[in-house]
Amino acid sequence: MSKAPGSPKGKAPTRAQASAKSAAKPAPAAAPKGDSAPTGDRIAKVLSRAGVASRREAERMIAEGRVKVNGVKIDSPALNVTDRDRIIVDGKPLPQAEAPRLWLYNKPTGLVTSNSDEKGRRTIFDELPEDLPRVMTVGRLDLNSEGLLLLTNDGGIKRRLELPSTGWLRRYRVRINGRPRDEDFEPLRKGMVIEGERFQPMTVALDRQQGANAWLTIGLREGKNREIRRALEDIGFNVNRLLRLSYGPFQLGSLKLGEVEELRPRVVRDQLGLEPEDMEETPPARPTRGRPGAKPGQKPSGRPSSKTAPKSDGMTFGIPKGKPTGRPADGPTGRSTGKPGGRPTGKPGARSGGYGDKPSSAGGNARGGKPASRGGSSKPRPIGKNPRR
**Catalytic positions:** 142
Q: Which residues pair with 260 in a beta bridge?
A: 105, 288
Torsion angle of C-alpha atoms 64, 66, 70, 76, degrees rounded to 10: -20
Give me the count of residues in the chain: 389
Decide the pairing of beta strands 146-152 and 170-177. Answer: unpaired
